[in-house]
Chain A
Amino acid sequence: KAGVTQTPRYLIKTRGQQVTLSCSPISGHRSVSWYQQTPGQGLQFLFEYFSETQRNKGNFPGRFSGRQFSNSRSEMNVSTLELGDSALYLCASSRPGQGAGETQYFGPGTRLLVL
């Protein structure tokens, strides 16, 4: 069974630009969560989508947004990039129907560098 895939794997942008990252969950998984990982702050929750609806949101500014499509694939968008947005962006998927605390499987991440 294929794992979570994320594209692109590496990205370089300049301040002020916007970026879109993509995540394809494991087949059959309907929940997709996004996390930001930086050396200073560690892994921080951005948001979660389930059945095309945002189910949960972390404490990030509105420049960070996401969406989920009917096939469960998800995208996240960061507008007006800042230097501090340089990070590894991780996507995790999980299977529904297990109640709270569904096991999440992570993709390899997209490494974003903002210059």
Chain B
Amino acid sequence: QKEVEQDPGPLSVPEGAIVSLNCTYSNSAFQYFMWYRQYSRKGPELLMYTYSSGNKEDGRFTAQVDKSSKYISLFIRDSQPSDSATYLCAVLTGGGNKLTFGTGTQLKVEL
């Protein structure tokens, strides 16, 4: 079983839609969860960072961690064409800064 699994894409939604992106992880000991956004030909950009469980909101973005089901989610409200990118969930799985990433979900927001 992979340490982090992410819903495969691609995902296409109309502008203004609510987008839900999801990942599961294998080890209940994991505590740090991140969402990165990656535009084509660019490095990943940190969107959201969550410690332990609960929700975290930043503008149109909400990150949610459910430790009981080992499930992490990213919600994007009022999606815009500029949100079109690949979204990667990441979990801190080792000492220091070792991040394990999901495979990424490619999102396209259409006009």
In the assembled complex, B92 has its CB within 8 A of some CB on chain A: yes
The docked-state distance in angstroms from the alpha carbon of A35 to that of B98 is 10
In the assembled complex, B99 has its CB within 8 A of some CB on chain A: yes
Distance in angstroms from A32 CB to nearest chain B CB is: 9
| B31–A101 touching, CB < 8 Å | yes
Q: List residues 36-58 of chain A with CB under 8 A from any CB of chain B.
A: 42-45, 48, 50, 55-56, 58
In the assembled complex, A33 has its CB within 8 A of some CB on chain B: yes
Residues of A within 8 A of B36 (CB): 106
Say which residue of A35, A44, A101, A109 sits within 8 Å of B92 (CB atoms).
A101
Q: List residues 60-111 of chain B with CB under 8 A from any CB of chain A.
A: 88, 90, 92, 94-104
Residues of B within 8 A of A50 (CB): 96
Distance in angstroms from B51 CB to nearest chain A CB is: 7
In the assembled complex, A72 has its CB within 8 A of some CB on chain B: no
| A102–B97 touching, CB < 8 Å | yes
Q: List residues 1-44 of chain B with CB under 8 A from any CB of chain A.
A: 31-32, 36, 42-44
| A109–B32 touching, CB < 8 Å | no
The docked-state distance in angstroms from the alpha carbon of A105 to that of B49 is 12
Given contacts A43-B101, A58-B98, A94-B97, contact A105 B88 (CB under 8 A): no
The docked-state distance in angstroms from the alpha carbon of A1 to that of B57 is 25
In the assembled complex, A100 has its CB within 8 A of some CB on chain B: yes
Write the chain B residue with the least CB distance to A4: B43
In the assembled complex, A104 has its CB within 8 A of some CB on chain B: yes
The docked-state distance in angstroms from the alpha carbon of A45 to that of B46 is 16
Given A45-B94, A101-B32, A102-B97, 16 more A-B residue pairs with CB atoms under 8 Å apart are A33-B99, A35-B101, A42-B103, A43-B101, A45-B98, A48-B96, A48-B97, A56-B96, A56-B97, A90-B43, A90-B44, A100-B31, A100-B95, A101-B97, A103-B46, A104-B97
B residues engaging A (CB < 8 A)? Answer: 31-32, 36, 42-46, 49, 51, 88, 90, 92, 94-104
A residues engaging B (CB < 8 A)? Answer: 4, 31, 33, 35, 42-45, 48, 50, 55-56, 58, 90, 92, 94, 100-109
